[in-house]
């Protein structure tokens, strides 16, 4: 395994594995025995970075979520896991009532919700401090100052370490970070956005993003990362939920991009040259980026996590990386 440091404050920065494990469906669609086996193998291989959220996976049972955090808490206790494993979680998108969703009825990002939701996450995970806490989705009904101060208060109290943000317009991220800096408060240091080799269309509206996607890592985010080298991008869904390799998993609708057939053809060429799987090449391509990118990949079997782990040691040549980068 290889490692990278996230965060800048010596009191809170952490060294984490360059591959993060997504635990979204652990404890719901992925049963406990399988979830524990995947977690055990990931940790055995040196994996130290696990990602979840307080709303995972509410859609599986029509509830409000929490199954993933609860399972991770049980795994930690049963295995005697301590501070060597960094668990990141998110708040803001938990439905306020069963049978609703984060689009129409989210908990939001008020100071009160931030405090209460973080406390619930700590209880489910069985930890005294959340290593990394994200603002999961935007809440434009609450002043940014309130959200910034709400997160910073938890850091000051010692119940949260690093702060992160996901699925926000970049201008909102920058404004929040500027407000924090001006007030001498800790701000977002880890950004979590969807990022993969194939490119989405940013103009495709959805229920969550009616003006087009704010959740994808595009050119604006890449430019922001280059201007702010202390930030880290955690790239979720790098393998597009199996769409690279499984005929039964079509590409999402917003990936109807004219350049993707050519990019996919080059990906297959590189996979043949390296003897690696398509998924491994995608992960190795992200890991070789000149930007600070940490792939976040889920796994529903030990075989899948084994495949992902092998990508850490897959070295692409400069020529192969240039070909993968060069398709427009």
pLDDT at 215: 82
Instruction: Say if residue 207's pLDDT is above 80.
Output: no
Instruction: Say if residue 191's pLDDT is above 80.
Output: yes
Q: Rounded to whole angstroms, how far apart are CA atoms 26 and 17? A: 20
β-pair partners for 216? 194
- Per-residue pLDDT of 136-185, as tens digits, reads 999 999 999 999 999 999 999 999 999 999 999 999 999 999 999 999 99
How many CB atoms are closer than 10 A to CB 141? 9
Query: How does strand 14-17 pair with strand 3-6?
Result: antiparallel
Check if CATH label 3.20.20.100 holds for domain 3-256+282-316: yes
Summarize the confidence of residues 266-275 as an average pLDDT: 98
The dihedral sign for the CA sequence 318, 310, 271, 245: negative
Summarize the confidence of residues 99-124 as an average pLDDT: 95
Decide if 234 contacts 53 (C-beta within 8 A).
no
Instruction: Say if residue 31's pLDDT is above 90.
Output: yes
Which residue did the predictor score with more confidence, 105 or 205?
105
Per-domain boundaries in the chain: 3-256+282-316
The reply to whether omega before 91 is within 30° of 0 (cis) is no
Is residue 257 very low, low, confident or very high in pLDDT (cuts 50, 70, 90)?
confident
**According to DSSP H, which parts of the chain are helical?**
32-44, 58-61, 67-79, 111-125, 144-157, 170-182, 219-227, 260-274, 278-287, 302-310, 318-325
pLDDT at 326: 84
How many CB atoms are closer than 10 A to CB 170? 17
β-pair partners for 236? 194, 296
Is residue 205 very low, low, confident or very high in pLDDT (cuts 50, 70, 90)?
confident
Instruction: Say if residue 203's pLDDT is above 90.
Output: no
Instruction: Say if residue 75's pLDDT is above 90.
Output: yes
Query: Phi-psi bin for 21: left (phi > 0), alpha (psi -120 to 50), beta?
Result: beta
Is residue 21 very low, low, confident or very high in pLDDT (cuts 50, 70, 90)?
very high
Decide if 5 contacts 13 (C-beta within 8 A).
yes
Summarize the confidence of residues 300-325 as an average pLDDT: 97
Q: What are the residues whose beta carbons fall under 8 Å from the beta carbon of 59, sequence distance 6 or more? A: 101
């Amino acid at each position: 395994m290889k490692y990278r440091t996230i965060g800048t404050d010596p009191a809170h920065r952490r060294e984490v594995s360059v591959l993060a494990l997504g635990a979204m469906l652990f404890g719901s669609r992925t049963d406990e025995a399988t979830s524990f086996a995947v977690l055990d193998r990931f940790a055995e291989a040196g994996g130290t970075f696990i990602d979840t959220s307080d709303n995972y996976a509410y859609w599986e049972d029509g509830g409000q979520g929490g199954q993933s955090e609860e399972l991770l808490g049980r795994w930690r206790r049963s295995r005697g896991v301590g501070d060597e494993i960094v668990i990141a979680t998110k708040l803001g998108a938990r439905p306020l009532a069963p049978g609703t969703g984060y689009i129409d009825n989210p908990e939001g990002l008020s100071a009160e919700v931030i405090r209460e939701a973080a406390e619930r996450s700590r209880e489910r995970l069985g930890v005294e401090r959340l290593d990394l806490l994200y603002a999961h989705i935007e809440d434009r009904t609450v002043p940014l100052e309130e959200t910034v101060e709400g997160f910073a208060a938890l850091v000051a109290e010692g119940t949260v370490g690093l702060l992160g943000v996901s699925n926000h317009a970049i201008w909102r991220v920058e404004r929040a970070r500027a407000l924090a800096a001006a007030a001498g408060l800790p701000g977002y240091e880890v950004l979590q956005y969807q990022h993969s080799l194939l490119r989405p269309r940013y103009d495709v509206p959805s229920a969550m993003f009616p003006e087009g996607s704010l959740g994808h890592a595009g050119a604006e985010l890449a430019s922001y990362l280059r201007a702010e080298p202390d930030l880290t991008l955690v790239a979720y869904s790098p393998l597009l939920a199996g769409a690279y390799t499984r005929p039964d998993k079509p590409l999402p609708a917003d990936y109807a991009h004219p350049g993707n057939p050519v990019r996919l053809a080059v990906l297959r060429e590189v996979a043949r040259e390296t003897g690696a799987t398509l998924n491994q090449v995608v992960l190795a391509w992200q890991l070789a980026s000149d930007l600070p990118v940490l792939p976040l990949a889920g796994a529903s079997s030990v075989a899948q996590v084994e495949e992902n782990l092998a990508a850490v040691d897959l070295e692409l040549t400069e020529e192969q990386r240039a070909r993968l980068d060069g398709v427009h």
